[in-house]
A and B are shown apart, each in its own frame.
Chain A
Amino acid sequence: MSRKKKHKVNQMGAPIDLNIMPFIDVFSLLCTFLLFSAVFVTIGITEVQAPFLTNAVQKKSDNKKDENKKSLPIFVHISKNSVSIRSASPGEAEKTSSFSSDKNGLLAFHQNLVSLKEKFPDSDKATVLTEEDVDYSSMIFIFDLIKFHNLAASEENKSNSLLPKIVLGDIIL
């Protein structure tokens, strides 16, 4: 660990020291500047949309196309103590599954969405109906459960998306 100090010697035989004080000054200033300007919280965004309503009549050919598509209208209802999924498979009665808002309940909710996505791979949209007493952080957590397949993985992997489009069903004038 010990290092031998090597001093350069000038023509007169006296040791020469490198003056590193200006270097330290620059480093200090740079550190101060970077500490002040550094952003330690990285800000991201979650996109949601209001329902789009139209009076246009849907063509019959479009309906046939939709039947062939493996998509399913999925409605998620968020309340303070529970989350529920309402979906109606083609030719089947409407089905509602409810889950509690605790860790296990939300995990089961996510698994249910994953299995729906496996059955109907073209589904990419969930209409979310939220009760007024639900707080914003809970909403965002549930949006993550709806949007992403693997909650530990990152979005860089495109296959991670579960139902990427979230429509806030109750934002209707």
Chain B
Amino acid sequence: MASVDSGNETQVSLNVMPMLDIFSILILFLLMSFSADPVSHDVNSGVELPQSITLLSLDELPTIVISKNQIYVNDNLVVTLVNGDIASMETNKIFHKLDVELEKIAESGKKFVKENSDLSVLTFEIDKTKKYKIIKRVMLSAQQSEYSRFKLMVEKQSG
């Protein structure tokens, strides 16, 4: 930790204590802010969540992601939106794939989950700019697959 100035032979030491202080405080802060939520999830890059005062934490990963230009079901791209909207002519054709995917999930859920478990819940990750028109259409597909309760992901407001 100490170095010697060869010219004058005076001992110069670097004081690392302030750096250690900063490090300690930084680690303490990071450990405190470390998420204690049961599920840790990285939000899709095309999704900006709206803020809410809810305190309910995310307890399962989202099944449906509606980003700015895509709709994913279990991380599989199902629908590509044109300018963030659906081309009205092809609505039924586009959403047929979504219906099929959701039906598959509902069927597999029935096979692998215990009898008493609640299968009717679906978690959504939706971009805050999305119009209700698209959300409603996706929810209708979900309802067709016997999902009746929806969990909408939001960003918890701090303070």
Contacts and interface: CB of A to CB of B under 8 A. Distances in A.
Interface string B113-131: 0000000000100111111
Contacts of A143: 52
A15 B60 CA distance: 58
A12 interface: no
A137 B128 contact: yes
Interface string A34-52: 1101111111111111101
Given A35-B30, A133-B132, A42 B37 contact: yes
Interface in B25-50: 26-27, 30-31, 33-35, 37, 40-41, 43, 49-50
Nearest to A150: B53
B136 interface: yes
A171 B139 contact: yes
A28 to B, nearest CB: 7
A158 to B, nearest CB: 11
Nearest to B58: A43
Interface in A42-68: 42-50, 52
Interface string B48-87: 0111111111110000000000000000000000000000
Given A133-B133, A136-B132, A45 B50 contact: no
Interface string A116-142: 000000000000001111111101110
Contacts of A19: 1
A92 interface: no
A126 to B, nearest CB: 15
The dominant DSSP class at the A interface is: mixed
Given A34-B27, A42-B158, A44-B57, 20 more contacts: A20-B20, A34-B31, A38-B33, A38-B35, A41-B43, A43-B154, A43-B155, A44-B54, A44-B153, A44-B156, A45-B56, A45-B58, A50-B143, A50-B149, A133-B132, A133-B133, A144-B52, A168-B139, A171-B139, A172-B143
Interface of A: 17, 19-21, 23-24, 27-28, 30-31, 34-35, 37-50, 52, 130-137, 139-141, 143-144, 147-148, 151, 154-156, 168, 170-173
25 contacts: A19-B1, A20-B16, A24-B23, A27-B23, A27-B24, A30-B27, A42-B35, A43-B58, A44-B153, A46-B54, A46-B56, A46-B152, A48-B149, A48-B152, A49-B150, A50-B143, A130-B136, A135-B128, A137-B50, A140-B128, A147-B54, A154-B55, A155-B54, A170-B136, A171-B139
